[in-house]
Structure formats: structure tokens, C-alpha cells
A and B are shown apart, each in its own frame.
Chain A
Amino acid sequence: MLHTVNKSPTERNTLESCLKHLTKGSAVLLIEDGVYAALKGTTSTKLVEQALKNYPVFALYPDIEARGLQDRIIDGIKLVDYSGFVDLAVEYPRMQAWL
């Protein structure tokens, strides 16, 4: 399952809830304000680093660039563009959107 998160972790509990419900074979894709979860040095960084140990975490680069976050992304998060987003949607049999 590919899980998308589109809310800031300091605005809603969307990220936390998503990460809590991951199962074997899950992956997470951060989009829109969800990309704030990809930032180093924040109150949610540890949570994401923990998830990275067991699951691939992706982030949509155009959303990162829009917000000026390009130089402060957690190591290990894979950056994708829009076509990479489509590839992930094809690769994983199902998607779940955490809003």
C-alpha cells in the first residue's frame, strides 16, 4: 500500500496516524504540506527517521522546492517528481490518502 500524507505534522496529526497504521510492504509519500514532515531538526523528525528504518519514505520534490525546503531534507527520504509519483502509484497495488 502507498500512503500519501498531505498535511503538516505541526498542524494536524495526519502523519502520526498514518505512520501508526503502516504494515509490511507499505510506503509513504509526502505531498503538499505533508513535505514539512521531511524536514531535519523538527519536532517530528525522529518519528519519520524511525519509520525510515522499516519503510521507504518518498517526498514530492516540486512541493519541497515551492516551500524553500530543498537543503534541509532528512537523509534517506527519496525525492520524486510528478512522473515518479505516477510510477509509485503504478508500482504499489493500492493507495491510501491520509488527509
Chain B
Amino acid sequence: MTEATGGIEMEEDSAGKVKKFLYVNRKAPYGTIYALESLEVVLIAAAFDQEVSLAFLDDGVYQIVKGQHTKPIDVKNFSPTYRALEGYDIEKLYVEKESMEARGLKQEDFLVPVKVIGAQEMSALMDSQDVILSF
């Protein structure tokens, strides 16, 4: 069954147990489909009442930069959706400090409240999860 459920175990004896899910976002938003796909899966998963966190590192930090206007390139601007995550009880958003700084960005450049953490803290966060989904 793991294929049908995307590798997520859904055994009967574990039904009802809340697991910790971390979505790892490492790609810039529009050049590839990864960022949008991640967001779609996050929204789907929100229906399952699990403990969800989002991590933004490497070029993934570009996903949540303020001031995106995609009309000129004729693609959907999905950046406002990150602000809607709060309504699905997804409030744990983490940005890796090193990735942010290497790209000349500051915490106030992001369109959602995030917690900025160092790579070491990020490793610990990853290590503490039950399921990691990578995009």
C-alpha cells in the first residue's frame, strides 16, 4: 500500500497517531515546478491534521520573497498561498540562516512570519521528524 499512499504508512494500529511531517523546500519558485508541487501537497496534507512544518533552505528561500508579480511571465503567482497556510494550522515555517544570508536576504524580506535558524538547528529539526518530504 505504500505506493498508493506515497510511502506514508497507514497501518490500522497507528491510525489516529499524529506524526511530524517536514516539507523541505530547496528550489526557486518559477524555473521548475517543485515549489508549486510542494505547496499543493502541503495543502492536501493539511486535511489530515498532522503536525506539519515547512523548511526553506538553499534556493528554496526565494519562494517566500515579498513582492512577486507574475503577470508579465503569465504564470500563476502562488506566493500569497503561503500566507493562507496559517488558516490550515500550518504555522511552523523555518528558514535556514546561511541560505538566507548567502542570497542577500533578511527576515523582513519574507512575506510570511518565519523562524530563522542555523544549519545545525535545521539538522536537529530534520532529525526530529517522522516523515520528510523533499522538493
Which residues on A are within 8 Å of B, measured CB to CB?
6-8, 10-11, 32-33, 36, 39-43, 45, 61-63, 65-72
Partner of A33, one of B31, B58, B77: B31
Selected from B32, B72, B102, the residue in CB contact (under 8 A) with A66 is: B72
Q: Which one of B27, B30, B104 contacts A67 once the chains associate, using CB atoms below 8 Å? A: B30
- Which residues from B are CB-within-8-Å of A43? 102-103
Residue contact A63 to B73, C-beta cutoff 8 Å: yes
User: Whole-angstrom distance between the alpha carbons of A23 and B72 in the complex?
Assistant: 32
Q: Provide the main secondary structure of the chain A interface.
A: loop
A42 with B69: CB separation less than 8 A: no
A-B pair number, CB within 8 angstroms = 69
Q: Are B103 and A66 in contact (CB under 8 A)?
A: no
Q: Is the CB of A67 within 8 A of B59?
A: no
Interface set, chain B 12-38, CB cutoff 8 A to A = 27-32
Complex interface: chain B residues within 8 A of A66 (CB): 30, 68-70, 72-73, 75, 77
Contact B59 A68 (CB under 8 A): no
Q: Which residues of A contact B58 (CB under 8 A)?
A: 10-11
Q: Which of B32, B66, B103, B104 contacts A68 (CB 8 A)?
A: B66
A62–B68 Cα gap in the complex (Å)? 10
With an 8 A cutoff between CB atoms, is B56 at the interface? no
Report if A70-B67 is in contact (Cβ < 8 Å); known contacts: A36-B62, A62-B73: yes
Q: Check A42 against B30 for contact (C-beta < 8 Å).
A: no
